[in-house]
């Protein structure tokens, strides 16, 4: 089963749901020509269908190998990576002064969805490189940028992100990897990192590791962490590769999914310490890492969208072929494809609606981050930065939860064949499972949403978004299209639920923080369901006014399905946030009694 990028849906989401077109028209993207978006996505879709999708199963079955401290990827992967980077895909949104194309992050977000949908284990490698580029560009010295950025932007070298240690997962502040000042401006790093994605591989000549470590005189906790750039091979003054640095893969994990993506234990210090170079200031590494993680969190959200869309496409094709039973009311012999059954239709609609909503939330996050970086007016930049910060945990957690739900429904639609590996439906479900865990678990994202994002400036970013969502609801109500059914009323209720839950949480944050923390996960879901519903309605309104999207009523029906089946859960989620905190706080009696 191959993959076809849903270009029309992506363009509608990008330009209208996420607001790229309005931002271009407002001048926030300078001289960027929005007309090229479709061409870029079509080309990316072609590459993904022709080159990456066929390698997805091979990678899953073959996995990776670690021998003699070297990781080998699955057959065809190094060649595919070289073709992919040679075609310029790594450089789409890279800074132009280092050879990048300087296109909007939003366009790269759509491309990331495409790479993830066609081959999520492949797409994960550049996803981390892009985060590394962002951190180095924002915080690195001119010298480090000169040596490393061009090769990272082109994709000639890849990047890794190394936080996790056995005792330091979500709580990165307790990491122990040690950095000593070498006296020549460089550092010697010793320690062990675990779970490092693409910590070693054979797709490029060099790998640039971004490693968090602690100086001997550093204060405890996150205030004592510094970020170091550690190349696999040192780089000579003329840019050629020099000696092998003292950082090696010492083990690889055997995993539920993502078999083709090496997950390495990295050991530094067997030969006196890996040579590392400081990024930013000593003890300010978390600041740099946040730049890197925010980008990666959006990227992982897009993995959720991508895997969901792939699972949906596969389930849709299967449902049109597999014959069982007859359409209700039909007489005579012969069976019908299962897509005639309302319960199967419901599952497919659920898959499609959830995927579309998560897509737009991710793209909207990218547009906000673009405006924050590109707009000339500091006020516009500041508001966009607050919007991007608010949306990032939702993009990550809502979309990856959706990725899992949709991949699971994909298995369900295949019936017994879904549980059998040869259909590929099972691989999507296995591969999706890591996405709510890495880059900060979804629980940690929810806490970030409630404590930092909602909690910032009395919830200002939330209130301004709620105003916009209310306007969308009013437009749906005013348009009087019977195709929307009860969409307007359902979304109005959802927005009201989100507002009440937000006010309650804000109040509890100071007075009873455990109540707020207990409600964080249902709150994030409430946010995603409300925002996603309003965004799909906005897209449907736009499709009605546009040419080139075929029958706009299909977008109206999709928005209606979301509002009447998913956004309606907002009321129950509001009650969960508010009413269940007491039971959660009393849980010890049940769990430990």
Task: Report the catalytic residues.
Answer: 439
Name the DSSP class of 414.
Answer: T
**Under rule CB under 6 A, residue 443 binds ligand FAD:** yes
Binding residue for ligand FAD, selected from 129, 190, 263, 291, defined by CB under 6 A: 263
Q: Quick one: 437 or 496, whose CB is closer to ligand FAD?
A: 437
- Cβ burial 360-374 (10 Å sphere, 16+ → b, else e): bbbbbbbbbbbbbeb
Stretch that binds ligand FAD, among 157-165, 241-249, 313-321, 531-539 (CB under 6 A): 157-165
Q: Quick one: 22 or 512, whose CB is closer to ligand FAD?
A: 512
Q: Quick one: 152 or 568, whose CB is closer to ligand FAD?
A: 152
Q: How far, in Å, CA of 461 to CA of 455, rounded?
A: 9
Residue nearest to ligand FAD (CB): 169
**Under rule CB under 6 A, residue 385 binds ligand FAD:** no
Q: What is the largest CA-CA distance in the chain?
A: 87
543 touches 13 (CB < 8 A): no
- Please tell me the count of residues contacting ligand FAD according to CB under 6 A: 20
**Under rule CB under 6 A, residue 437 binds ligand FAD:** yes
107 touches 40 (CB < 8 A): yes
Strand partners, 233: 244
Binding residue for ligand FAD, selected from 61, 170, 236, 514, defined by CB under 6 A: 170
Smallest distance, Å, CB 34 to ligand FAD?
34
| First and final C-alpha spacing in the chain | 50
Stretch that binds ligand FAD, among 88-96, 115-123, 161-169, 449-457 (CB under 6 A): 161-169
Smallest distance, Å, CB 352 to ligand FAD?
28
Smallest distance, Å, CB 53 to ligand FAD?
21
Backbone φ and ψ of 279, nearest 5°: -110, 130
Binding residue for ligand FAD, selected from 73, 93, 116, 162, defined by CB under 6 A: 162
Smallest distance, Å, CB 446 to ligand FAD?
9
Distances (CA, A) of 238 to 99, 204, 228, 234, 304: 18, 19, 22, 12, 41
**Under rule CB under 6 A, residue 177 binds ligand FAD:** no
**Under rule CB under 6 A, residue 163 binds ligand FAD:** yes
Residues in the chain: 593
Output the CA torsion sign for 459, 460, 463, 468: negative
**Under rule CB under 6 A, residue 3 binds ligand FAD:** no
Binding residue for ligand FAD, selected from 2, 222, 250, 441, defined by CB under 6 A: 441
Name the DSSP class of 252.
Answer: E
Query: What are the start-end ranges of the H helices in 140-245?
Result: 142-144, 150-154
**Under rule CB under 6 A, residue 434 binds ligand FAD:** yes
Q: How far, in Å, CA of 414 to CA of 409, rounded?
A: 9
Q: Quick one: 287 or 437, whose CB is closer to ligand FAD?
A: 437
Stretch that binds ligand FAD, among 7-15, 131-139, 162-170, 451-459 (CB under 6 A): 162-170
Backbone φ and ψ of 226, nearest 5°: -120, 155
Distances (CA, A) of 100 to 134, 203, 490, 548: 12, 20, 44, 31
Binding residue for ligand FAD, selected from 444, 495, 529, 542, defined by CB under 6 A: 444
Query: What are the start-end ranges of the H helices in 169-284?
Result: none
Tokens found for residue 410? 């994909």
Smallest distance, Å, CB 173 to ligand FAD?
11
> Which residues of the chain form contacts with ligand FAD (CB under 6 A)?
161-164, 169-170, 195-197, 255, 258, 263, 434, 437-438, 440-441, 443-444, 447
């Amino acid at each position: 089963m191959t993959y076809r990028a849903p270009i029309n849906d992506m363009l509608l989401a990008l330009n209208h749901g996420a607001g790229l077109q309005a931002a271009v028209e407002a001048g926030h993207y300078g001289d960027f020509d929005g007309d090229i978006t479709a061409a870029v996505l079509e080309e990316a879709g072609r590459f993904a269908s022709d080159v990456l999708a066929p390698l997805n199963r091979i990678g899953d079955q073959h996995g990776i190998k670690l021998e003699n401290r070297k990781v080998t990827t699955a057959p065809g992967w190094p060649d595919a990576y070289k073709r992919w980077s040679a075609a310029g895909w790594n450089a789409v949104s890279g800074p132009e002064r280092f050879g990048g194309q300087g296109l909007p992050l939003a366009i790269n977000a759509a491309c990331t969805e495409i790479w993830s949908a066609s081959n999520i284990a492949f797409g994960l490698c550049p996803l981390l490189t892009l985060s590394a580029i962002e951190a180095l560009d924002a915080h690195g010295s001119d010298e480090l940028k000169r040596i490393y950025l061009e090769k990272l932007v082109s994709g000639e070298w890849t990047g890794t992100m190394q936080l996790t240690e056995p005792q330091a997962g979500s709580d990165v502040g307790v990491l122990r990897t040690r950095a000593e000042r070498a006296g020549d401006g460089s550092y010697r790093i010793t320690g062990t990192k675990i779970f490092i994605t693409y910590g070693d591989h054979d797709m490029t000549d060099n790998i640039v590791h971004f490693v968090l470590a602690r100086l001997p005189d550093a204060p405890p906790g996150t205030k004592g962490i510094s970020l170091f750039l550690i190349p696999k091979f040192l780089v000579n003054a003329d840019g050629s590769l020099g000696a092998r640095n003292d950082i090696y893969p010492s083990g690889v994990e055997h995993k539920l999914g993502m078999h083709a993506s090496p997950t390495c234990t990295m050991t530094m210090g067997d030969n006196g310490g890996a040579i590392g170079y400081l990024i930013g200031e000593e003890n300010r590494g978390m600041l740099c890492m946040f730049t890197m993680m925010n980008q990666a969190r959006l990227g992982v959200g897009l993995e959720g969208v991508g895997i969901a869309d792939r699972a949906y496409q596969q389930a849709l094709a299967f449902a049109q072929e597999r014959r069982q039973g007859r359409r209700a009311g039909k007489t005579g012999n012969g069976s019908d494809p299962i897509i005639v059954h309302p319960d199967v239709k419901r599952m497919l609609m659920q898959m499609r609606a959830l995927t579309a909503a998560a897509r737009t939330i991710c793209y909207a996050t990218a547009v906000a981050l673009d405006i924050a970086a590109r707009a000339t007016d500091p006020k516009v930049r500041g508001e966009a930065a607050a919007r991007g910060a608010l949306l990032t945990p939702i993009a990550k957690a809502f979309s990856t939860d959706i990725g899992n739900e949709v991949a699971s429904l994909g298995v369900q639609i295949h019936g017994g064949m879904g549980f059998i590996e040869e259909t590929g439906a099972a691989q999507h479900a296995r591969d999706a499972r890591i996405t709510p865990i890495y880059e900060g678990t979804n629980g940690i994202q929810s806490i970030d949403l409630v404590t930092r994002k909602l909690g910032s400036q009395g919830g200002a970013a939330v209130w301004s978004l709620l105003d916009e969502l209310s306007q969308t609801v009013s437009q749906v109500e005013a348009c009087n299209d019977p195709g929307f059914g009860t969409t307007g009323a359902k979304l109005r209720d959802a927005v009201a639920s989100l507002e009440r839950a937000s006010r309650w949480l804000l109040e509890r944050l100071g007075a009873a923080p455990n109540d707020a923390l207990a409600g964080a996960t249902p709150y994030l879901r409430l946010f995603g369901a409300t925002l996603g519903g309003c965004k799909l309605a906005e897209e449907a309104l736009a499709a009605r006014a546009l040419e080139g999207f075929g029958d706009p009523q299909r977008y109206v029906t999709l928005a209606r399905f979301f509002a009447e089946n998913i956004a309606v859960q907002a009321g129950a989620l509001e009650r969960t946030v508010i009413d269940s905190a007491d039971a959660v706080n009393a849980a010890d009696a049940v769990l430990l009694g």
